[in-house]
Chain A
């Protein structure tokens, strides 16, 4: 029997383990990922089984993690870097944007950068500053990087393996507040492609787009809307760069209405790009402008305010109502 009930966290752990078994060149790097198993225990037990050369407790410096990962990749390794929290990726931002993203193009393809950058992202855990952010747009804006966000244990298990096997650098966003969400994972199944969005609930009235932690919120909103007789189609975007908008366009041409949900601030967030592209592709089908539900354009607030800051079921439904009222 190859089906197990797994949390997202455990699915990632098993996915990492399997990737390391499959390819001896896979090296995990990060702060506290070895003996401790990571602050979220995603790498629990891996150093014990694979050794200190393959699960590296690094010095405490994120640029160092990414910069040495570049060198390891040049030597033929497949580094998987853990950034402990979203807000701590910025010291590594230079290496990611000026080096990791560009080396394939700079070398005209003579060098590949199969580097995975795992980032627990998003809020909702009552944390202090810098532990609740959604930095995906910075990376999706950078040519040369790929960006994915998983929302469930199945995608976590397969996605991390697919990202590690992929030849391009992948920013792999993990919905930290959903780490403990469970689902059945068939570890013998054939996985969906990594860079593809997926309709996770069919519907006719409004298309709701989400990714990472907001997929669950969107699905809850669709459930509540159904009780009021409204049928929401929910798309889990899964890949943020490149975007896979074919299923979205197909959906919006049917529903005529589109709401994008993310935790990141709305201004110049993924929702802005999606709104522009959906408008271009679906202009004649749209009954309402594409609406965005996201974080406000403020620094992520102290945790006593995060419930107000973060999109929730009600804010999604409010946007759905506005889209329907047009």
Chain B
């Protein structure tokens, strides 16, 4: 397993051949949409049966969580939900590629990665319910809090990786971003920094084809993975709906980072099957036929087909995973609907390491004002 060197990336003009450079296969795939295992000259993966079943379980549970969250939003229990539907393999594959000591910097859609880091789904639900900005511990889970400003976290990841270098640690950092984010100046700055300092960071771009409504063509005239060449590090495009390929490619990139070989850009080619968020209406900007085409490349169906065909899992296993998914959904539903609102004073906490006298006075004013209603004074 190796990461292609920068020089192997093709000429970044669509369709143009670059005869002086060997052509990199366009899309790394290890499991076809039909569930057939295929080999790739550069990326191999060898998982035992249990590991394969575990990946399937991850994919199913993450999707079930996502479906439940969408339902909860429709029922008024969440303010908004950013669905990962269709991107389960990209997220589970990338998340499972992380070593325990590695650190991940998500956008706001990486629920599947959160799952692999052991984050309690309720700590994600609390964000979308409006209780907090994410209830998990970003230090203990090594999974940063969600960053909503597009691309801002890529610089954080790069800076963190520069800290890793100074510590002399064998730790890799995984920065998540979307196709739209590649247009952000800060993302480009992050890649410049990462290259210049050879920081142990991997940029994992889920190209789900749309930035809300705007298609990829508006963000880039070249395949995204080819951009890496301009920054001076390897870029690779992987079938983002193939959990095995994503796992293999991300593992290789993270290993290279840990070994001091610097950054890699991974473009996980996938599709956002749902809306951007529950506030969005994708029928206004994309065709149903496109959705139908991508349904045939479903990230879970292909794993199930492979497990069945190869005899790695039987009907009992699939039924058990379904039952576990239902239990998870019930727990998420119960935990979300029973989640108490935070006290009003919570907004005054933690603005600073130690509350300033000015803020303490403002909080006292707030409390006095609130209390004025309780005795029927108003």
Contact in complex: B351, A59 (CB < 8 Å): no
Q: How many residues of B contact A (CB 8 A)?
A: 42
| A144-B152 Cα distance, complex, nearest whole Å | 18
What 0/1 pattern do residues 141 to 166 of B give for CB contact below 8 A with A?
00011010100101111111111111
Task: State the Cβ distance, B163 to closest chain A Cβ, in Å.
Answer: 3
Are A242 and B351 in contact (CB-based, < 8 A)?
A: no
Whether A111 touches B139, Cβ cut-off 8 Å, given contacts A63-B185, A71-B155, A105-B351, is: yes
B138/A111 in contact, CB under 8 A:
yes
B234 at interface by CB-CB < 8 Å: no
Are the C-beta atoms of A110 and B138 separated by less than 8 Å?
yes
Residues of B within 8 A of A203 (CB): none
B33 at the binding interface (Cβ < 8 Å):
no
Q: Are B357 and A94 in contact (CB under 8 A)?
A: no
Question: Are B145 and A107 in contact, with the CB atoms below 8 A?
Answer: yes
B351 to chain A, nearest CB (A): 5
A61-B189, A104-B352, A106-B134 known; A72+B139 contact, CB < 8 A = no
Whether the Cβ atoms of B156 and A71 lie closer than 8 Å is: yes
- B residues sitting closer than 8 Å to A (CB atoms) are 132-134, 137-139, 144-145, 147, 149, 152, 154-167, 185-186, 189-190, 192-193, 196, 349-354, 356-359
Q: Are A72 and B160 in contact (CB under 8 A)?
A: yes
A64 an interface residue at 8 Å Cβ cutoff?
A: yes
When the two chains form their complex, are residues A108 and B159 in contact, meaning their CB atoms are under 8 A apart?
Answer: no
Do B132 and A108 touch across chains, with their CB atoms under 8 A apart?
A: yes
Q: B144 contacts A64, CB within 8 Å?
A: no
Whether A146 contacts B166 by the Cβ 8 Å rule is: no
List B contacts of A63 (CB < 8 A).
155, 185-186, 189
By size class, the interface of chain A is 35 or more
For chain A, residues 92 to 124, give those with C-beta under 8 angstroms from any C-beta of chain B.
94-95, 98-99, 103-112
The answer on a CB contact under 8 Å between A61 and B159 is no
Q: A75 interface residue, CB < 8 Å from B? A: yes
For A76, list chain B residues within 8 Å (CB): 163
Q: How far is the CB of A168 from chain B (nearest CB, A)?
A: 5
Question: CA separation between A59 and B144, bound complex, in Å?
Answer: 25
Q: Is the CB of A146 within 8 A of B159?
A: no
A77-B163, A107-B138 as given contacts; A67 in contact with B351, CB under 8 Å: no
Contact of A94 among B133, B152, B350 (CB under 8 A): B152
How distant is the Cα of A73 from the Cα of B353 in the complex, in angstroms?
Answer: 14
B134 touches A167 (CB 8 A): no
Chain B residue nearest to A97 in the complex (CB): B149
Contact B186 A67 (CB under 8 A): yes
**Docked pose: A63 CA to B137 CA in angstroms:** 26
Say yes or no: A59 contacts B162, CB within 8 Å. no
Could you list 20 A-B pairs, sorted by A, with CB under 8 Å?
A59-B196, A63-B155, A64-B189, A68-B158, A68-B162, A68-B193, A70-B155, A71-B158, A74-B144, A74-B159, A79-B159, A94-B186, A95-B186, A99-B152, A99-B156, A104-B351, A105-B350, A108-B132, A109-B353, A168-B353
Q: A59 contacts B353, CB within 8 Å?
A: no
Would you call A108 and B350 a contact (CB within 8 A)? yes
Query: Knowing that A63-B185, A64-B192 are A-B contacts, what are 10 other residue pairs whose CB atoms are under 8 Å apart, sorted by A's residue number?
Result: A61-B193, A71-B163, A98-B149, A107-B145, A108-B350, A109-B353, A111-B139, A112-B353, A144-B351, A195-B356
Contacts of A143 in B (CB 8 A): 351
CB distance from B350 to the nearest CB of A (A): 4
Would you call A74 and B156 a contact (CB within 8 A)? yes
Q: A106-B145, A242-B358 are in contact. Are A71 and B351 (CB under 8 A)?
A: no
Residues A64 and B190 in contact, CB atoms below 8 Å apart = yes
Contacts of A195 in B (CB 8 A): 356
Residues of chain B within 8 A (CB-CB) of A224 are: none
Contact call A110/B137, Cβ cutoff below 8 A = yes
Whether, in the assembled complex, A69 has its beta carbon less than 8 Å from a beta carbon of chain B, the answer is: yes
A243 in the interface (beta carbon within 8 A)? yes
> B155: which A residues are within 8 A, CB to CB?
63-64, 66-68, 70-71, 95
The answer to whether residues A77 and B193 also contact, given A98-B152, A108-B349 and a CB cut-off of 8 A, is no
Q: Quick one: given A107-B145, A110-B139, are A59 and B352 in contact (CB under 8 Å)?
A: no
A132-155, CB < 8 A from B? 143-144, 146
B163 touches A106 (CB 8 A): no
Q: A59-B189, A63-B185, A64-B155 are in contact. Are A104 and B353 (CB under 8 A)?
A: yes
Contact B157 A71 (CB under 8 A): yes
Q: Is A53 an interface residue (CB 8 A)?
A: yes
- Which residue on chain B has the smallest CB distance to residue A277? B358
